[in-house]
Structure 1
Amino acid sequence: MWLVIGVGLLGLFVGASAVLAFRVSEATQRRESPAVSPAQPVSDDVAALLSALRSTSVLLGPDGEVLRATPDAYSAGLVRAGHLTHSALVELVDRVRRTGTSADEQMLVPRSSVPGSDRLALEVRIAPLSAGRALLLAEDRTNERRVEEVRRDFVANVSHELKTPVGAIALLAETAADAADDPDAVRHFAASMQRESRRLSALVQEIIELSRLQAPEQEVDFVHVALDEVVAESVDRVRVEADARQVSIAVGGDRDLHVLGDHALVVTALRNLLDNALRYSPEGTQVSVGVRARGDIAEIAVVDQGVGLTAEQQERVFERFYRVDHARSRETGGTGLGLSIVKHVAANHGGEVRLWSTPGRGSTFTLRIPLADADAAHTQSAQSPAPHGAEGEDQ
C-alpha cells in the first residue's frame, strides 16, 4: 500500500515539475520574442523599422492581408479594406511567395477605382519574409515620368517649329538665286527671308528663355522692382508695333508699387502680354494696362478689344506652342511660347496669371505678384481702377 502511495506522489511531483518547466519556458519565449496579437500584428520594433523607411511600404500576412502599411500606401490607393487593391501587385506577391525570391518591377496602376483616373508610375520591390509574410516597397516615379514626357514633347515641338522657318528660308534663298536677273524679285524674296529669319530668331530666343525659366536649378536674385518702371519699359518696347497696327495704349492705376523679383523677367512677362494683345487687336482699338494693389498682391492687367477666346481655347492658351489662329500667328510672327513664359515668370515670383475672356468682347490677362512690402500696399484708387474688359493668346 505504501508503495502505491509513493508511486502516486512521485508521479504527481513529476507532472507538476513538467507543467512548471513548460510555464517557465513559455514565459522565457515571451520575453525573448515580441508579442504578436490580432490587435498588434507586428512587433514594435518592426513597426518602428517600417516607419523609418522612406519608401511606401506594406507588410503582408500569409493570406495576403495587410498587417501594416504607411499612410501614403492608402493615399495612393494601393491599400483598401485591409488588402492590396491592384491585381498586378497581388500577382507579384503570390509569385514571390511561390519562388521564395525577391522581385522588382515597374508598373502603372490606377490612382483610384474611378474610370479614367490618373495612373501612378511605381517602382515596386517585394521581398519574402518568414512565416509566409512579405514586404512590399514602392517608389512613386509619376512626377519623374511626367517631366520626362514633357521634355520629350518639348523637344519634338521645338524640332517641328524650327523646321518651318528654316525650310522657308532655304526655299526663298533657292528661289532668289533662280531669279538673280530680276532685281524686283530678288528684293521681294530677300524681304521674305528677313521676315522668316526674324521669326526664327524670336523663336530661338523664347525657347532659350523658357528653358531657363523651367530649369530646376534656376535661381533668381530678387530685388525691389518698381512697377512704374516695368510698365514704362514694356510699353516703350511695343510702341512701334502698336503705331504700325494703329492701336493705342492707355496706362492707368496705382503708382509707386513695388514687387520683390527680377526686373528683366517681369518686363519680359508684361511685354509678352502686350505683344499678345496687340497681335489680336483690330485697327483703331485700344489696349489698356492697369496696375493696382489688392491686399498684399500687385495686379497688372492687360486688356484688349480683340476677338476673345472660347472656354476650350482658354484651357489651352498657356500651353507651349499652342496657337488659336495659325494663319494670324504666321502673319504676325507669333511663336506660341509667349504666354507660357508669362505663366512661368509668375510662378517663379510666387504669383499667377489669370484670364478673363469672352468671344467677341476681347480678353483680360492679369499678372499677379506679391508686393515687396505688404504694409506699404496702396489702396486701390477709385479714380483709376484697373481696367476690366476683354483677348489674346500668344500664337
Structure 2
Amino acid sequence: MARWLKREAMPSAQEDYGRSNEVHMSLVQMRTAMNALPMGVVIASSDGSNTWVNRAVYEIFSAGSVDQALFTERIQQLLRDAIHGHTIKTMIEFGDPALRTLEVETISLVDGGAAAIVEDITSRLMIDRVRTDFVANISHELRTPIGAISLVAENLIATTEGTESARFAQIILDEVTRLNNTVSDLLELARIEFDGLQERERVEIPTVIEAALGRLRSVALTRSVMLVVEGNPDVVVAGDRAQLLSALVNLIDNAIKFSPQGSIVKINSSVEGGQLFLSVADNGPGIPLEHQGRVFERFYRVDDARSRETGGTGLGLAIVRHIALLHTGDVTVKSTEGTGSIFTLVLPTV
C-alpha cells in the first residue's frame, strides 16, 4: 500500500515536461519584462561568478569604452557587497567634470544572489540645476527693488503719519515684507537643493532647540503664545547644523502663526530605535485630512486667506521636508481639525 502511494506521487514524464515548459515560459516572460524596463538591471549569481544584464545596461555606454570598463568594475564590487548583505543606494559619476551620473541601488536576493538597479539621472540633474540656478538668479535680482520699495514706504509712513497716505504706505510695506520673505525662502530652498549636504558634523539637538527658541521668542511674545520644551534629551545627530536649525525654526514659526492668542506651542524630543523624534505641537485650526498629504509641497496652502494674514510663503514646510530627506530622515504631520497639528522631524541618531 505504501509503495503504491509512493509510485502515484511520482510525476510522469508528461508532467515533468509540462512543469519544465512552464518554468521556461516564466523565464522568457521575465527576461522580456526586464528588457522592457527603462532602467538597467544587473543580476549576479550567489557566488558572483555569473551575471545577467538587461538591454538598458548596454545602452548606457558605448561598447568597449573606458567608462563602460569603469562601470563594470564598480558594479561588480557593489554586487559582491550586496551578496554579503551590504546593500546601498549611491551615485556613480563619470568624466571630469562629471558628464554622466548614474544612480545605483543594490538589493540582496533570497537565493543568495544580488541585483543592481541602474538609472541614468544625468538629464534630471541638469534640469534640476538649471531650475535651481534660475530661481536663485531671479531671487537675487528681486532683492534690490524690494529693498528700495521698503525704504520709500518706511519714509512715507514716517512723514505722513496719521493720514490716508500713511495707511496706503503701510499696506505697501506689508506686501513688500511678504514678498521679501518669499524671496528669502526661495533662495534658501535653491541653496539647499544646489549644495545638498556638503558635509556632516556632530550636532547636539538641545543646542539647536535653544537656538531656535532664541530666534522666535519675541515673535511668540508678540502673538501671546508660550513656547514650552519637553523631553530634550542629550542626543546627537550627524548633519548640517544650519539646515537642522532652519527646519526647526520653520516648524516652530508655523506653529506660532497658526496658534490662537494665549495658547501653548510644545517642542518635544525623544529617542526610540536609534531615531530622534523632534515634534512641534500647536493648538491651531488643524489641517483637513484631504490636505495633509500635500502640505509639504511648494506653495501649497490649505487656506490662502489665512496664509496671507499670517504672512506665510508656502515654502517653509517644503524646506523642512527637503532638509529631512537630505539627512536620510523624514517629516510627518498628524492633525485634527479644530484641535491642532503635530509636525515631527525624524532623524537617525549617532
Interval of TM-score (by shorter of Structure 1 and Structure 2) = 0.5 to 0.7
Instruction: For residue 191 of structure 1, report the CA deviation from its aligned partner.
Output: 3.2
Write out per-residue CA displacement over residues 188-247 of structure 1, whole angstroms, 9 at most, x where no aligned residue: 3443333233222221111111012222x5342211111111111111211111111111
Task: Answer yes or no: is 1:289 the counterpart of 2:267.
Answer: yes
Correspondence for 2:35: 73
1:150/1:221 CA distance change after superposition, 3 Å: closer
Distance 1:180 1:364 in 2: 41
Instruction: For residue 145 of structure 1, report the CA deviation from its aligned partner.
Output: 6.3
Task: Decide which of 165, 170, 173 is 1:191's aligned counterpart.
Answer: 170
Distance 2:280 2:30 in 1: 55
Distance 2:323 2:348 in 1: 13
Correspondence for 2:306: 328
**Gap regions ≥5 residues in structure 1:** 1-38, 40-65, 78-138, 373-395
**Gap regions ≥5 residues in structure 2:** 1-20, 22-27, 40-117
Task: Answer yes or no: is 1:248 the counterpart of 2:232.
Answer: no
* TM-score (norm: length of structure 2): 0.58
Across the aligned residues of Structure 1 and Structure 2, the Cα RMSD in angstroms comes to 4.2
Counterpart mapping for 1:68-107 below 5 A: 72-75=34-37
Task: Decide which of 247, 259, 269 is 2:237's aligned counterpart.
Answer: 259
Task: Answer yes or no: is 1:204 the counterpart of 2:183.
Answer: yes
8 Å CA contact retained: 1:352, 1:367? yes
Instruction: For residue 286 of structure 1, report the CA deviation from its aligned partner.
Output: 0.8
User: Number of matched residues?
Assistant: 243
Write out per-residue CA displacement over residues 113-138 of structure 1, whole angstroms, 9 at most, x where no aligned residue: xxxxxxxxxxxxxxxxxxxxxxxxxx
8 Å CA contact retained: 1:226, 1:256? yes
Question: Which protein is bigger by CA-based radius of gyration?
Answer: 1
Write out per-residue CA displacement over residues 61-112 of structure 1, whole angstroms, 9 at most, x where no aligned residue: xxxxx999676424459xxxxxxxxxxxxxxxxxxxxxxxxxxxxxxxxxxx
Correspondence for 2:344: 366
1:71/1:181 CA distance change after superposition, 3 Å: closer
Instruction: For 1:236, give the aligned amino acid.
Output: G
> Aligned residues: percent identity?
36
Distance 2:158 2:225 in 1: 39
Correspondence for 2:202: 224
1:142/1:73 CA distance change after superposition, 3 Å: farther
Instruction: For 1:338, give the aligned amino acid.
Output: G
1:280/1:181 CA distance change after superposition, 3 Å: closer
* TM-score (norm: length of structure 1): 0.52
Task: Answer yes or no: is 1:313 the counterpart of 2:291.
Answer: yes
Instruction: For residue 369 of structure 1, report the CA deviation from its aligned partner.
Output: 0.8
Distance 2:228 2:158 in 1: 47
8 Å CA contact retained: 1:173, 1:189? no
Instruction: For 1:349, give the aligned amino acid.
Output: H
Correspondence for 1:28: none
8 Å CA contact retained: 1:172, 1:192? no
Task: Answer yes or no: is 1:300 the counterpart of 2:278.
Answer: yes
Counterpart mapping for 1:1-395 below 5 A: 72-75=34-37, 144=123, 148=127, 183-185=161-163, 186-215=165-194, 218-372=196-350
Instruction: For residue 358 of structure 1, report the CA deviation from its aligned partner.
Output: 1.4
